[in-house]
Amino acid sequence: MKELFPAKQVMGLVFSLVLTLVALLVHFTDMSFAVGMTILLVTAFIQAFLQLVVFMHAGESKDGKAIYTNVFYGFIIALVTIFGSLLILIWDM
Amino acid sequence: MEFFERFAVPHPSPMIYASMVAIGLVVIGIVFGITYFKKWGYLWREWFTTVDHKKIGIMYLISALLMLFRGGADAILMRLQLSSPDMEILDAQHYNEIFTTHGVVMIIFMAMPFIFAFMNLVVPLQIGARDVAFPRLNALSFWLFFAGAMLFNISFVVGGSPDAGWTSYFPLAGNDFSTSVGTNYYMIAIQISGIGSLMTGINMITTILKMRAPGMTLMKMPMFTWSAFIANVIIVFAFPVLTIALLMGTTDRLFATNFFTTTNGGMDMLWANFFWVWGHPEVYILILPAFGLYSEIISTFSSRNLYGYKSMVGSMVLISLLSFLVWTHHFFTMGQGALTNSIFSVTTMAIAVPTGVKIFNWLFTMYKGKIRFTVPMLYSIGFIPLFTVGGVTGVMLAMSAADYQFHNTMFLVAHFHNTIIPGVVFAMLAGLTYYWPKFFGFMLNEKIGKWSFWLLSVGFVLAFFPMYITGLDGQARRMYTYSEATGFGPLNLMSFFGAALMAIAFVTIVYNILYSIKNSPRNIGNDPWDARSLEWATHTPVPEYNFARLPQVASSEAYWDAKKNGHKLFTGELKDIHMPNNSGVPFIMGIIFFVAGFSFIFALWVPAVIALIGIFACMALRSFELDHGRHIHVKEIKEIESQYEGGAK
Ligand code: HEM
Ligand SMILES: [Cu+2]
């Protein structure tokens, strides 16, 4: 019975719902812009990671390493692009 | 009639009317010819519906050559207009349209399909696979590229061509300053073919990671496969940026959003930023497969293994990362501070280091090698000094303070042609000559080939080196004319002669193909160049399934091992081979995308919505379709194999 019950996925679902609720707080309570954005960004990234690991089974096959390398590489490039653009167009303009 | 007025060219000239007539006649001629010779069925069965990577590669190759001639015609017109002061062959508007389409056609519709052609033709063979990972997706990639290319190419006779440069900077590219549908063509045609490129990226990465022959670890892959792998990784990370930027540009133009406008909170500089976040990696997407081809060719014709395999791989991995860290060098003059410019100056100069490592590796490969001066080798040897000049001027441009002087002058134009022509175009012609016998079963004539090489090289030097000088003297790029007092005349005339020589070189290449079809001997065996990697281990021309038995590999030069060191490539019994079925859906989707794109360009919403529904219908159909492919049975394989000399291998 234990193998048949997808405990990990159910936990994942509950956790994603909690993350969604936390994100909704930003809309329904009165926060400063900075705090709100921080909450949204943090919950969004955890949410995306959760989807990838729990529901899309990254890391469970023997391609796990390639998948994580790929995600890591994408992450680095996205960060460089975003912060580079901010530097160019806002902070140092 | 009012409805049809939108399709009229806003700025017609006798040349455009002549082109319309010519295009009309050619299309009628082709349709008539195919019907007369009853070839529609053949085309449909063997080409339009094919999922075979070799045939798709050949279609990419033909398209790339056609686009080379389209872009080349643009180039000659521009050089003619600038050949002496105050020329009046083209007016300003027409000149703008021509340099815009020249740039887009050459980068997106010539160089890209050319590298995809070689990736398709060579990668599966080099890794000992029977096809790419997703053959039908591969066909779709091709037809999307083709739809985009055709859409872009009709722009100059239907509705008007884009005229804001291949970089299409806003606010010039916005509705206020570009009022014709030209820039819609730019946004949407590139979008469609870009989706195809992105899919090829995913397809090739999967193929290379998952379908290598037994024994071929990553560090035993031939160098072209490595370069294709890295280029596709860059595609997958760079193209989404272009996709989104084009989408934002499209909505700005069609739905009055304000991403890149100068009012209502828009930011025109954001376009330049996005464009080069894609654009700089793009130039490395083009150059890396070219480096891969040079590596194969230089090692084959130096009759020795490639020097410094590991540093070759390492430098490409480094380039792939660095290529995402330098984009600002394209707009040092946009107004950001010295800190930003300095950071990007340093990262840009850093790229020259891994590039230099590769140059030295090729030189060391040739040093002590026994060099054979074939046509592919000539291109590779010519590439090294010429490309180095381009790299050195690149480093000059990378110094942000100095770039205030160089930027947007002919010096810049000379730099990038100096990297792209000896870098990419020479590699494509070398690859074309090198792989021609594998796919067509006969060699191209060496003597004519050498003529083409020399004409092209001399033409190139004459055409582009003068621009370094006029650029430093202040001749701006994208100016349709200049006065005699500037003194730019004589050097520009020289450029025109160089361009004419290059045009002649391309004509000799076409002549060579025709000549060789007629006169070259056909019994050339599997390995006419005495080459080293797996693609030469199978028959010529390559059978549908590539390898009757999958090869066993123990080094990056498995075929050389088999020829010289007694390595056994093919062992074991023949087994049934599982192959994918042909499908007409990718071709049909290409047509629907064309219709959708055309409708969006002219804001014809009813056909646009219908076409979009059609696209989703095709995708839904694919999701529910059961297609397990087919098997080629051992008996059939034996029959096919026995038709080749020496029987089954
Ligand atoms: C050593 C390596 C290289 C360096 C340091 C370098 C540096 C630069 C810089 C700084 C610019 C911008 C100059 C300006 O706008 O004022 C530039 C433009 C350009 N480079 Fe390079 N480059 C290098 C190699 C290449 C290669 C390999 C290619 C293509 C295969 C290439 C293609 C281009 C193109 C297409 C442009 C300009 C396009 C435009 O503005 O329309 N470069 N390069
Ligand atoms: Cu660049």
pLDDT at position B196 over 90? yes
pLDDT at position B24 over 90? no
Q: Which residue of A has its CA nearest to B336?
A: A93
CB count in 10 Å sphere of residue B649: 15
| CA gap A20, A13 in Å, rounded | 11
Per-residue pLDDT tens over the stretch B116-125: 999 999 999 9
Instruction: Say yes or no: B485 contacts chain A, CB-CB below 8 A.
Output: no
* DSSP annotation of A89: I
How far CA B328 is from CA of A72, B334, B402, in Å, comes to 23, 9, 15
**Percent helix, strand, coil in chain A (nearest 5)?**
80, 0, 20
**Nearest residue (CA) to ligand 1, atom 34:** B416
Looking at residue B345, its pLDDT comes to 95
Distance from CA of A63 to the nearest CA of B (A): 9
Which region, left, alpha or beta, applies to residue B580 given φ > 0 means left and ψ of -120 to 50 means alpha? beta
Q: Is B254 exposed, middle or buried (0-12, 13-18, 19+ CB in 10 A)?
A: middle
Looking at residue B645, its pLDDT comes to 61
**Are B336 and A84 within 8 A, CB to CB?**
no
- CB-based burial, B479-499: b 16+ in 10 Å, e otherwise: ebbbeeeeebbebbbbbbebb
Mutate to test the interface with A, among B324, B325, B339, B348 (most CBs of A within 10 A): B324
pLDDT at position B449 over 70? yes
**Are A89 and B336 within 8 A, CB to CB?**
yes
- In the structure, which protein residues have their CB atom closer than 6 angstroms to any atom of ligand 1? B 167, 283, 286-287, 329-330, 348, 351-352, 355, 391, 394-395, 397-398, 403, 406-407, 412, 415-416, 419-420, 423-424
Looking at residue B646, its pLDDT comes to 53
Looking at residue B647, its pLDDT comes to 42
Give chain B positions within 8 Å (CB) of A77.
237, 324
| CA gap B74, B67 in Å, rounded | 11
Q: How confident is residue B648, by pLDDT bands cut at 50, 70 and 90? A: very low
Instruction: Say yes or no: B337 contacts chain A, CB-CB below 8 A.
Output: yes
Domain B1-277 fold is: Cytochrome C Oxidase; Chain A (1.20.210)
The helix or strand, by DSSP H or E, that contains position B80, with its residue range, turns out to be helix B53-82
Instruction: Say yes or no: B350 contacts chain A, CB-CB below 8 A.
Output: no
Among B78-92, B137-151, B552-566, name the one with the lowest average pLDDT: B552-566
Q: Ligand 1, residue B352: give the atom nearest the CA.
A: 1
Among A13-17, B182-186, B346-350, B571-575, name the one with the lowest average pLDDT: B571-575
**Which tokens in the block code for residue B102?**
């020249």
What ranges do the domains of chain B cover?
1-277
Mean pLDDT on B612-636: 91
- One-letter amino acid for residue B556 of the chain: S
Ligand 1: centre distance to CA A88 (Å): 19
Among A82-86, B156-160, B343-347, name the one with the lowest average pLDDT: B156-160
Mean pLDDT on B107-127: 96
Q: Which residue of A has its CA nearest to B270?
A: A89
Q: How confident is residue B21, by pLDDT bands cut at 50, 70 and 90? A: confident
Pocket test for ligand 1, best of B101, B234, B283 (most atoms within 8 A of CB): B283
Distance from CA of A50 to the nearest CA of B (A): 22
Give chain A positions within 8 Å (CB) of B275.
none
pLDDT at position A3 over 80? no
Give chain A positions within 8 Å (CB) of B340.
87-88, 92
| ipTM of the complex in this document | 0.84
pLDDT at position B469 over 80? yes
Looking at residue B450, its pLDDT comes to 96
Mutate to test the interface with A, among B206, B242, B260, B273 (most CBs of A within 10 A): B273
Distance from CA of A47 to the nearest CA of B (A): 21
Mean pLDDT on A74-90: 92
**Which tokens in the block code for residue B511?**
């002549």
Q: Report whether B605 contacts B599 (CB < 8 A).
A: yes
pLDDT at position A75 over 50? yes
Per-residue pLDDT tens over the stretch B261-292: 998 889 999 999 999 999 999 999 999 999 99
The helix or strand, by DSSP H or E, that contains position A9, with its residue range, turns out to be helix A7-28
Q: How confident is residue A67, by pLDDT bands cut at 50, 70 and 90? A: confident
Which region, left, alpha or beta, applies to residue B570 given φ > 0 means left and ψ of -120 to 50 means alpha? beta
Looking at residue B58, its pLDDT comes to 96
Q: Which chain B residues in 201-240 lie under 8 Å from chain A, judged by CB atoms?
A: 209, 233, 237
> Does the predicted TM-score (pTM) go above 0.90?
yes
Distance from CA of B31 to the nearest CA of A (A): 47
Q: Report whether B167 contacts B279 (CB < 8 A).
A: yes
Q: Which residue of B has its CA nearest to A89?
A: B336
Helix B375-398 and helix B338-366: axis angle, to 10°? 160
| CA gap B379, B434 in Å, rounded | 11
Looking at residue B1, its pLDDT comes to 65
Instruction: Say yes or no: B138 contacts chain A, CB-CB below 8 A.
Output: no
Looking at residue A1, its pLDDT comes to 60
Looking at residue A2, its pLDDT comes to 66
Distance from CA of B649 to the nearest CA of A (A): 33
Least Cα distance to B330 among B281, B380, B384, B261 occurs for B281
**Are A92 and B336 within 8 A, CB to CB?**
yes
Residue by residue, what is the 3-state secondary structure of B367-432?
A: CCCCCCCCHHHHHHHHHHHHHHHHHHHHHHHHCHHHHHHHCCEHHHHHHHHHHHHHHHHHHHHHHH
Mean pLDDT on B19-27: 86
